[in-house]
Structure 1
Amino acid sequence: MKKLIMAASACALLVAANPGFSQAVQEGKAAKKEMKAEKKVAKAEEYKMEAKTHKGLEVKGISDPKTRMAKADRKMEKAEKKVLKGEAKELKAVAKEKSKQAAGVN
């Protein structure tokens, strides 16, 4: 289902950004980064639930809840970085389009 939505949004981006193909590419990259961030957030939430309920893979010496929560926090930090990278890609696309318009390249 997610792939179908992603494909539809990519097509919509290409149609909407017909004058600037590079902008559509940047927006596609931003969407990809956001999808990766969503996956990382989901995984972090899963790790947190496993730490709270003491479920999941039990490994002697590293399965205590404190370590599991730290792992979940690291995943969440990586997800936040992915979101920021996605936003940066979107801003880059907008800036590129503005500079093209200012130069009269269209």
Structure 2
Amino acid sequence: MKKLIIAASVCSLLSVAQLGFAQAVQEGKAAKKEMKAEKKVAKANEYKHEAATHKGLEVKGISDPKTRMAKADRKMEKAEKKEMKGEAKELKAVAKEKTKKAAGVD
């Protein structure tokens, strides 16, 4: 919740600083993607820890440590995708700003 408030305040500060509403929106989206990625990384680490220590929810015959570790790996891959999407949003915002400056539109 704190991160969402911080992201919202950053967005509002960027829009107030007259950098353009579109860029502020892109920055906000990038921050949101990064927060989601952090949550997924934390969840993947939790799954890995549970698989290694044999704790947490385990269904007999279905979720042995190997399958639980595979689930953690999939979660980590999704987190990496989210991080990449966040970086792409940031790059898109910078590119938009540069094209606006090049065109003389501020």
- Same fold per TM (> 0.5)? yes
1:7 partner letter: A
Please state if 1:51 is matched with 2:51: yes
Deviations 1:11-33 (A, max 9, x none): 333334x2311001000000000
TM-score by length of 1: 0.90
TM-score by length of 2: 0.90
1:32 partner letter: K
CA RMSD of aligned residues (A): 1.4
5 Å-filtered alignment, 1:89-104, equals: 89-104=89-104
| Residue ranges of structure 1 left out of the alignment (5+ in a row) | none
Extract structure 1 runs of 4+ deviating beyond 6 A: none
| Residue ranges of structure 2 left out of the alignment (5+ in a row) | none
Aligned twin of 2:41: 41
1:42 partner letter: A
Does structure 1 retain, via aligned residues, the 8 Å contact 2:34–2:86?
yes
TM-superposed CA distance for 1:58, in Å, is 1.7
Q: Structure 1 CA distance, aligned partners of 2:54 and 2:14?
A: 43
Count residues in correspondence: 105
Aligned twin of 1:5: 6
Instruction: Give the 3 Å change call, closer, same or farther, for CA 73–29 of structure 1 in structure 2.
Output: same
Q: Percent identity?
A: 80
Does structure 2 retain, via aligned residues, the 8 Å contact 1:33–1:82?
yes
5 Å-filtered alignment, 1:21-32, equals: 21-32=21-32
